[in-house]
Structure 1
Amino acid sequence: MTEGSVQMRLHLMTKRHFLLVLLTFFGSFIAVVIVGTVGPTILKSQADSHPLGAHNSSQLDEQFSDFYSVGPFILYPPSLSKFNQQLWLLSQITNQKHVQGSSMKITMEVQVQLSTESSDKATPYGKQINHNRIVECKEVCDDLVIMHLGFISEQSYRVEVTFARLANREFFGNVTFKWTYYNAAFTQLEIWFRFGFLVLAFLATCLFVYSLKKFTFRNWSIEQKWMSILLLFLCLYNNPLLPLSFLVSSWIPGMLDALFQATFLSGLLLFWLCAYHGIRQSERRFFKFYLPKLMIVFLIWLSAVTLASWQKYNELEDPGYNADLDTKNFMGFKVTFFVVIGLYVLYLLYLVVRAFVEMINSSHFDIRFKFLSGLMFTVLAISIAITVLRFGNWSLQPTFISGLTTQYNNSAEFLAFYGLLNFYMLTMAFVYSPTKYALIDSHFQDDPMTSMISGSDDETSLKAWHAARESDSEG
């Protein structure tokens, strides 16, 4: 005989209740986006804060040798703190012999020497870094990322940049350098909002588990079991260790943040697969039910973590590192990642279609399927829309890991992503939690053939719920 399942709020919610839940979800999401639109910009450059503007080659000493080198340029970034998070040095070259409508490529060797301002001695990054770079130029060449620091370990730096082995020296005109870094005001906003989301996630986790403590674990529905896990992952996603990033001079806190985010997102992907499959199948053996899903999602998680770790390691060894210097390995990772994502999407669509076909032929279309699908596709649609509007086709380019194009452009984009996932999880935690007068009843069995609630069953369940509430109030 099939065990009963814990009655969820979902079973007793009317259309008015669903409307209120959705209004709360969208209202909260829109509210944080509005806050983000009036929030500080995320990235700043030296020109934004320094009255002299960006460094210009015409204002700096130039040395020309027989093999056509320009520099070294001695550059100093503005005073930095750990709240500035990351630092980029970019250069832009003017093509002094530009012909209207034409373009050309300039080949050069970029030499970078990084040290602290207080001493000419090299930091751990400090031996000379040489990289061959190719820049496409029209009237003005594309921005060239000279250096990127993934975390700020010093307040001041001294950088020497030399452009050597120029194949087209006669085209080499003015050079403009620009420092770009995170706005400290945005960092403070990020800390406060992520802390707020962390508190909400922690409280939701405690309340959700507490509401289920009087029921045995075997009676929890598959959604309730997964929510107890996903809420813990949500706490990690909001990163309780975030303050360490500003207290210690190490790359480890940043790496842990990337690991936590990948873990939560992978857990959410696994939940969707298990929910759509489990909603129509009560027998869920590990090797047959969970193992294929775990393998697909594990490959996605491994690809994401490997990309982040590989990029972080190379930046520590070489701040002049850029993904276009290692295109072969980088593209190999990207192809693997997108292939696995493609397999996941196909598998998920298959499970959704199978569940839809089986549920639509029943006398009552399962409310669990409706809610799960409606909210999931809403979250996916918003996420894809934000991604496309922000990044366009940059994910298809050969390089995008440490480029400025992959950073959030303003506070609204940052809060939109974080707020969307947090409010999505909190909404599911509310709907899937048991009511105060929850029942363990055969009407709510976690079984595809018996979890359909007919109209009479709804009426019976509502009467039982009201009766339990009245008896409790009388007592």
Structure 2
Amino acid sequence: MRLYTLSKRHFVLVFVVFFICFGLTIFVGIRGPKVIQTSAANFSLNNSKKLKPIQILSNPLSTYNQQLWLTCVVELDQSKETSIKTSFPMTVKVDGVAQDGTTMYIHNKVHNRTRTLTCAGKCAEIIVAHLGYLNYTQYTVIVGFEHLKLPIKGMNFTWKTYNPAFSRLEIWFRFFFVVLTFIVTCLFAHSLRKFSMRDWGIEQKWMSVLLPLLLLYNDPFFPLSFLVNSWLPGMLDDLFQSMFLCALLLFWLCVYHGIRVQGERKCLTFYLPKFFIVGLLWLASVTLGIWQTE
């Protein structure tokens, strides 16, 4: 490999370029737009034995908002020194408003969710609803707290979405690295065209696997999430990320273990245990990612 013939000057140059790129990413993260955009809607409730359902209308949305969360902070009418932790059923009904503003999509199903209210001076935030992808430009959420048997002073609802400016930055960021990874992959394949695969070292073999997976990790299909109202682009993104990260972990395990193993690396004793361990991690990450996307 070229790595084995680098001089001290080349090593210093590699690390300088790495830290410059790392510093640029930190600068973009600090100076760039905020990831999450919030808008609050406060409600004052009169004390009553039974709370009426609350109807909340979201702000106008676009596909660049990607996802939508509705959270709630409950204010209890009691001493702040009191600590409470209780579970209660909550009803949630979501309606979507079409682009013309006249057609209302009404879903007759009312979702029943169990939430845990934890208060220690101030109550913790509760997630009321989460939409993984947006089919409509506006949403109406009807929330019912009828089963919460506590004296309530007020409720603070907050809408949370991805910042459209961040979404545009993410598109260009991913596009740049997709193109860069494709160029590096082509150059790597071109540099090895003169050599037989039998002459490749373990690093070259793994790089021929990791570079295409890195291309998928940057997700060339990411813009589809803004063009198609479906959970499929998000699922593909989670799948590609899990594949690359687990392949990278498997690469490091094989390389570091290969330093101690001299001679032939048998599939049954050398590779199979690593594939089994990393495969379990991959399966867990993919399952969790798809479950969160849906």
- Interval of TM-score (by shorter of Structure 1 and Structure 2): over 0.9
1:97 corresponds to: 78
1:158 corresponds to: 140
Could you say what secondary structure the match of 1:272 adopts? helix
2:114 corresponds to: 132
Q: Percent identity?
A: 46
Check conservation: 1:266, 1:300, Cα contact below 8 A: yes
Q: Distance in 1 between matches of 2:269 and 2:131?
A: 46
Aligned pairs for 1:416-431 within 5 A: none
Check conservation: 1:266, 1:301, Cα contact below 8 A: yes
Q: Distance in 1 between matches of 2:204 and 2:235?
A: 30
Check conservation: 2:89, 2:115, Cα contact below 8 A: yes
Shift of 1:99: 4.2
Shift of 1:264: 0.1
Deviation per CA, 1:212-256, whole angstroms, max 9, x where unpaired? 100111111100110111011000000010011111010000000
Question: Which of the numbers 122, 147, 154 marks the counterpart of 2:106?
Answer: 122
Shift of 1:291: 1.2
Q: Distance in 1 between matches of 2:64 and 2:47?
A: 36
Check conservation: 1:98, 1:138, Cα contact below 8 A: no
Question: Which of the numbers 56, 69, 73 marks the counterpart of 1:88?
Answer: 69
Check conservation: 1:94, 1:139, Cα contact below 8 A: no
Q: Distance in 2 between matches of 1:33 and 1:137?
A: 36
Question: Which of the numbers 32, 43, 60 marks the counterpart of 1:39?
Answer: 32
Shift of 1:158: 1.2
1:416 corresponds to: none
Question: Which is strand-richer, 1 or 2?
Answer: 2
Question: Which of the numbers 127, 148, 166 marks the counterpart of 2:130?
Answer: 148
1:30 corresponds to: 23
1:20 corresponds to: 13
Could you say what secondary structure the match of 1:164 adopts? coil
Name structure 1 gaps, 5 residues minimum. Answer: 1-7, 47-53, 314-475
Could you say what secondary structure the match of 1:242 adopts? coil
Could you say what secondary structure the match of 2:238 adopts? helix
TM-score, with normalisation over the residues of structure 2? 0.93
Q: Distance in 2 between matches of 1:175 and 1:30?
A: 42
Check conservation: 1:90, 1:179, Cα contact below 8 A: yes
Question: Which of the numbers 29, 41, 51 marks the counterpart of 1:55?
Answer: 41
Question: Which is helix-richer, 1 or 2?
Answer: 1
Could you say what secondary structure the match of 1:70 adopts? coil
- Aligned residue type for 1:276: Y
Q: Distance in 2 between matches of 1:114 and 1:243?
A: 26
Check conservation: 1:95, 1:139, Cα contact below 8 A: no
Aligned pairs for 1:274-313 within 5 A: 274-280=254-260, 281-313=262-294
1:268 corresponds to: 248
Check conservation: 2:74, 2:123, Cα contact below 8 A: yes
Task: Answer 1 or 2: higher relative contact order, Cα 8 Å, separation at least 6.
Answer: 1
- Aligned residue type for 1:110: M
Check conservation: 1:95, 1:138, Cα contact below 8 A: no
Check conservation: 2:177, 2:218, Cα contact below 8 A: yes
Check conservation: 1:86, 1:181, Cα contact below 8 A: yes
Could you say what secondary structure the match of 2:229 adopts? coil
Q: Distance in 1 between matches of 2:86 and 2:104?
A: 31
Shift of 1:63: 9.9
The worse-fitting range, judged by mean Cα deviation, of 78-87 and 105-114 is 105-114
Check conservation: 1:270, 1:293, Cα contact below 8 A: yes
Which of the two has higher C-alpha Rg?
Answer: 1
